[in-house]
């Protein structure tokens, strides 16, 4: 068997469009279609509201539902996702920690929020001054 080396001039174009890539080599064309990635939605809180407002509202809602003033950041996050599915977990946990002055990492935040008391092992409670009168009365009955 005999081998004969040779080369062919090849020219081509690659076009990248939204949802497809078109590769043209000489006169041959190949199209690859794909679903473009979804843009990350930013959370919309409404004018004049911030994440700390949401943290406080969610804590009050969780206490209304469970009738208990002991919860974790994960429990709060679960309730928050019902209303804000685009919420990021790391951002959420940071805001919860930044709302508990006795948490060891509180010093790293300049927020000066005092919504929660931290008990260790990821357990928090809402300070009584942030509960509605009905909520604190319900907790005292039990």
Residue 16 lies in a domain: yes
Mean pLDDT of all residues in 126-136: 79
Q: Are residues 20 and 58 in the same domain?
A: no
Backbone angles phi, psi at 66, to 5 degrees: -95, -20
Q: Note if the pTM is more than 0.75.
A: no
- Provide the domain count of the chain: 2
**What percent of the chain has pLDDT above 70?**
89
Q: Could you tell me if 107 and 66 lie in one domain? A: yes
Q: Does the residue 1 lie in any domain?
A: no
Is 34 found in the same domain as 61?
Answer: no
Task: Say yes or no: 55 and 119 in one domain.
Answer: yes
pLDDT of residue 33 exceeding 80, the answer is yes
> Do 89 and 56 lie in a common domain?
yes
Q: Answer yes or no: do 111 and 84 share one domain.
A: yes
Residues 55 and 34 grouped into a single domain: no
Of 109, 54, 50, whose CA–CA distance to 77 is shortest?
A: 54
**Do the domain assignments include residue 5?**
no
Find residue 116's DSSP bridge partners. Answer: 126
Q: Are residues 92 and 55 in the same domain?
A: yes
Judged against a pLDDT cut of 80, whether residue 44 lies above it is answered with no
The domain containing residue 19 runs over which residues?
11-38
Task: Answer whether 134's CB lies under 8 Å from 140's CB.
Answer: no
pLDDT of residue 40: 61
Are 65 and 135 part of one and the same domain?
yes
């Amino acid at each position: 068997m005999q081998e004969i080396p040779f080369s062919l001039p090849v020219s081509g174009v690659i076009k990248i469009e939204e949802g497809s890539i078109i590769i043209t080599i000489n006169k041959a064309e190949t199209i690859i279609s794909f679903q473009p990635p979804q843009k990350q939605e930013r959370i919309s809180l409404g004018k004049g509201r911030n994440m700390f407002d949401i943290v406080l509202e969610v804590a009050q809602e969780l206490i209304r539902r469970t009738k208990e003033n002991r919860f974790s950041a994960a429990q709060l996050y679960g309730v928050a996702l019902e209303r804000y599915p685009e919420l990021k977990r790391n951002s959420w946990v940071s805001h919860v920690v930044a709302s508990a002055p006795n948490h060891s990492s509180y010093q790293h935040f300049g927020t000066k929020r005092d919504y929660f008391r931290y008990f260790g092992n990821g357990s928090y409670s809402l300070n009584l001054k942030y509960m509605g009168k009905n909520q604190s009365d319900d907790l005292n009955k039990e």
